[in-house]
Amino acid sequence: MRLTTKGRYAVTAMLDLAIHAGEGPVSLADISSRQEISLSYLEQLFSKLRRQKLVVSVRGPGGGYQLSRATESISVAEVVDAVDESVNVTNCGGEGNCTEQGFCLTHHLWTDLSQQIHSFLHGISLDSLMQRQEVQHISARQHRKELDGANNPDTIETITLSGLG
């Protein structure tokens, strides 16, 4: 399957955005910190997600990103598609040039599987992911880590000193 980190990171970032939607606009720096995804990479992904109207940006102090629709109406497949990712499992990328003569014997099998995977991902919404117990546990752990970092005097000192330079 050709789902790379681009698709995985986009889904992870969108799920993080969905989880924190009630807090107002979410900054990419916050998503980057929580999910350990490069900020510059997130900027590239969110540019594509914004073009596909899955997110909207909010400018100014306290700005960031918000989902453009309710979590139950955004599917994982839409997110993957928005960042130009493919769930194609054929060796030829769906082109049909598997062999010198064209299609290989199993081309249609892999095409059907690709369609099944896409259909499966289309049936999963951000909301349904948010309801999963393991997602809630991981989110709670990340929240505790954020709070611990904010209450750690070494972290506060580092932030203060870095702001002076």
How confident is the model at residue 163, as a pLDDT? 42
Angle in degrees, 0-180, between the axes of helices 5-19 and 28-35, rounded to the nearest 10: 110
How many helices and strands, by DSSP H and E, does the chain display? 8, 2
Residues paired with residue 84 on neighbouring β-strands, in sequence order? none
How confident is the model at residue 100, as a pLDDT? 80
The pTM (predicted TM-score) of the whole model is: 0.83
Distances from the Cα of 104 to the Cα of 87, 95, 117, angstroms: 19, 11, 21
How confident is the model at residue 157, as a pLDDT? 42
How confident is the model at residue 89, as a pLDDT? 84
Contacts of 111 (CB under 8 A, 6+ apart): 90, 94
| Predicted confidence pLDDT, tens digits, the chain (165 residues) | 567 889 999 999 999 999 999 999 999 999 999 999 999 999 999 999 999 999 999 998 888 999 999 999 999 999 999 998 878 888 887 788 888 888 889 999 999 999 999 999 999 999 999 999 999 999 999 988 888 876 655 544 444 344 443
Q: Which amino acid is at 11?
A: V
Give the count of beta carbons closer than 10 Å to the beta carbon of residue 127. Answer: 14
How confident is the model at residue 84, as a pLDDT? 84
How confident is the model at residue 15, as a pLDDT? 98
